[in-house]
Structure 1
């Protein structure tokens, strides 16, 4: 059941510690599932743990969370080979695709090797809701800041670019994130874009940002653009709705 427009909810959150499981569904991910508009059956949600090296532990935690949430769950891994015969067909059969965190550079390399990048665009255009956390937020954009290459953050500029913006994740929780993101936008290494504190997310319909959301009080979203005089970046807080 596709959403009524191409939909992405890009987050720095979406999962919370579980009481019976390692992970439980957070309000941001629950909202992404609701956006799919599924009625009369369990929503089909596929997890891609590529950024975390296709960790079997992450897959297990996802399936535990999905059982608790009442989803019909699947996963797509790239190591040692794709676990489904037709990646595009599998993603098109989903209501929601949820992408985990880790190395966005590794994710992009593996996805391109196996055609997952092309399949993701097809799923997005067909109305499958795309969501995720951290690397699972950066990947939809032109680029952003990443620790894929080491503890000192560096830019990644070859995202899938479904969205024509840059993206800053973990904006309030890692001290390098905010100043580096602003400097990269100011110098033109990254285009203007949007950033999220931990626990916040950005809802796009097509390529338009339509709402900033949070699953914890105080989590913010921001628009960052080059200054008009070329002297730096301008950061503007966005009105952010707290999900309950």
Structure 2
């Protein structure tokens, strides 16, 4: 059963240390599954690890997390070739697509080489919940901030653009994230930017931000916008969005 409307859960979280495995899915991933409306069977979750090169050791750890969660979890690998015959058919069969972190710049380049831009849009429009962490959050927006080019954060502006905003991840856990977002919004490099502390997810119905959720107490989301003033490049307004605890 697809989600009632096109749905994206863009996060800076989703994992936690496991008791018998290195990692387990945290509440944000389970919430993405809840949003899909899947019931009466194991939810079908596709893990997409393009941003870190489809590392098979990490796939194995995600498979273990999926088994513990009771998901029917599979992987879409693009290295060294796609592991499914028809990517669009595969994605349209899923309840949730969970995109892992890594290099958002490399992820976008590889996705476009495989013509996934339109495929993800059609899956989104069909009610498959699109979700992910870090690079797997930024990719759904126009762009955001990234360390894909090197240790100094830079803007990326060629996201899929399903959401007409920019995105800032790891807003509280890396010291350069907040000031970089502020600077890039102030000078017009980024537009309205929606940011998440670690452990927080942003929920979009269609292209509207409807709510934020957290799996970690005390964390928040933020909306950063440019405030133009005469004779200046612009100041920024940061609005704190209190999330709902999962």
Report the TM-score when normalising by structure 2. Answer: 0.97
Q: How many equivalent pairs are there?
A: 243
Determine the C-alpha separation between the residues in 2 that align with 1:77 and 1:233: 40
Kindly state the Cα deviation for residue 118 of structure 1 after the two structures are TM-superposed. 1.6
Tell me the SS of whatever aligns to 2:170: coil
Task: Please list every run of at least 4 consecutive aligned residues from structure 1 whose deviation after the TM superposition is greater than 4 angstroms.
Answer: none
Q: In the alignment, which of 203, 228, 233 is matched to residue 236 of structure 2?
A: 233
Unaligned runs of 5+ in 1: none
Match of 1:140 in 2: 140
Determine the C-alpha separation between the residues in 2 that align with 1:120 and 1:231: 35
Match of 2:22 in 1: 22
Kindly state the Cα deviation for residue 141 of structure 1 after the two structures are TM-superposed. 0.4
Determine the C-alpha separation between the residues in 2 that align with 1:22 and 1:124: 31
Match of 2:44 in 1: 44
- Does the alignment pair 1:191 with 2:188? no
1:53-92 matches, within 5 Å, as 53-92=53-92
Tell me the SS of whatever aligns to 1:33: helix
Determine the C-alpha separation between the residues in 2 that align with 1:117 and 1:75: 18
Tell me the SS of whatever aligns to 1:84: coil
Q: CA RMSD in A?
A: 0.8
Q: Retained in 1: the 8 A contact 2:187–2:234? A: no
Kindly state the Cα deviation for residue 73 of structure 1 after the two structures are TM-superposed. 1.0
Unaligned runs of 5+ in 2: none
Determine the C-alpha separation between the residues in 2 that align with 1:22 and 1:6: 32
Kindly state the Cα deviation for residue 156 of structure 1 after the two structures are TM-superposed. 0.4
Kindly state the Cα deviation for residue 93 of structure 1 after the two structures are TM-superposed. 0.4
Tell me the SS of whatever aligns to 1:10: strand
Determine the C-alpha separation between the residues in 1 that align with 2:195 and 2:160: 17
Determine the C-alpha separation between the residues in 1 that align with 2:61 and 2:120: 23
Tell me the SS of whatever aligns to 2:107: helix
Match of 2:111 in 1: 111
